[in-house]
Structure 1
Amino acid sequence: MANQYLTMKELKEALPDIPENSLKRYLQEHAEYINYKKEHNRYKIQASEIEKIKFIRKLYSDGLKKEEVTAKLEEAGIPVIITVEDEEESTSTSLVNVNSELTDMKKLVSFLVQQNEQSRLSQNKIREQNKQLIHEVQELKLTIEDLRMAHEQGYEKESEKVTSLYEKLMATQRSVEEVAGALEAEKSKSIWQKIFGK
Structure 2
Amino acid sequence: MANQYLTMKELKEALPEIPENSLKRYLQEHAEYINFKKEHNRYKIQASEIEKLKLIRKLYSDGLKKEEVTTKLEEAGFPVTITVEDEEESSSTSLMNVNHELTDMKKLVSFLVQQNEQSRLQQNKIREQNKQLIHEVQELKQTIDDLRMAHEQGNEQESEKVTSLYEKLMATQKSVEEVAIAVEAEKSKSIWQKLFGK
Pick the TM interval, shorter chain.
Answer: 0.7 to 0.9
Instruction: Report the Cα offset of residue 165 of structure 1.
Output: 1.1
- In structure 2, the CA distance between the partners of 1:168 and 1:93, relative to structure 1 (3 Å rule), is same
Alpha-carbon distance in 1 for matches of 2:12, 2:153? 109
Partner-residue secondary structure (3-state), 1:105: helix
Report what 1:6 is aligned to.
6
Alpha-carbon distance in 1 for matches of 2:51, 2:169? 78
Report what 1:151 is aligned to.
151
Moved more, 188-197 or 70-79: 188-197
Report what 1:163 is aligned to.
163
Report what 2:96 is aligned to.
96
**Over aligned residue pairs, what C-alpha RMSD do you find?**
2.8
Unpaired runs of at least 5, structure 2 = none
TM-score scaled by length of structure 2: 0.80
Moved more, 47-56 or 98-107: 98-107
Percent of residue pairs identical: 90
Alpha-carbon distance in 2 for matches of 1:54, 1:66? 15
Per-residue CA deviations over 1:104-160 (Å, capped at 9, x if unaligned) read: 423432332332233234224323432442443344345435534543542112133
- In structure 2, the CA distance between the partners of 1:151 and 1:59, relative to structure 1 (3 Å rule), is closer
Partner-residue secondary structure (3-state), 2:169: helix
Moved more, 174-183 or 187-196: 187-196
Per-residue CA deviations over 1:58-117 (Å, capped at 9, x if unaligned) read: 333434332222211111111222121322210543333434533442343233233223
Alpha-carbon distance in 1 for matches of 2:58, 2:114? 39
- In structure 2, the CA distance between the partners of 1:152 and 1:66, relative to structure 1 (3 Å rule), is closer
Alignment of 1:34-73 (within 5 A): 34-73=34-73
Instruction: Report the Cα offset of residue 183 of structure 1.
Output: 1.4
- In structure 2, the CA distance between the partners of 1:42 and 1:175, relative to structure 1 (3 Å rule), is same
Unpaired runs of at least 5, structure 1 = none
Alpha-carbon distance in 2 for matches of 1:95, 1:45? 14
Q: Point out 4+ residue stretches in structure 1 off by more than 4 angstroms.
A: none
Alpha-carbon distance in 1 for matches of 2:58, 2:120? 48
- In structure 2, the CA distance between the partners of 1:82 and 1:176, relative to structure 1 (3 Å rule), is same
User: How many pairs were matched up?
Assistant: 198
Partner-residue secondary structure (3-state), 1:95: strand
